[in-house]
Structure 1
């Protein structure tokens, strides 16, 4: 039972990390959109940067999903 609980705690911690990373990416996205609306940066730069941010976060989610599946 103790092992199952520690595994659950580890999985929840990994999900919390993923959630926090997703929130940070979302915040960055909103900042770039606000900048674009204000004309502070070129739209192509904004979307290239946004794509890079989201690609990195998506890959992190895939890694966490693989890790959690391997532990299950």
Structure 2
């Protein structure tokens, strides 16, 4: 039974890692980053929820006057 030839594995793995690194660097270098990023304020503006726009009252059966 013939043995598996592993003599080219090192070159294959190293070249694959170098290729992935170069491709990643090219992808990152094409991305445009803002020159002066502005910090966002820590206080969040309160957005009204759809159910807060309309006033509704829920009546509990126990809170209704007895008849």
The structure where helix makes up a greater share of residues is 1
TM range (shorter): 0.3 to 0.5
Q: Which structure exhibits the higher relative contact order, with contacts defined as CA atoms closer than 8 Å and separated by 6 or more residues?
A: 1
The structure that has the greater radius of gyration is: 2
Compute the TM-score of the two structures, normalised by the length of structure 2.
0.42
Compute the TM-score of the two structures, normalised by the length of structure 1.
0.39
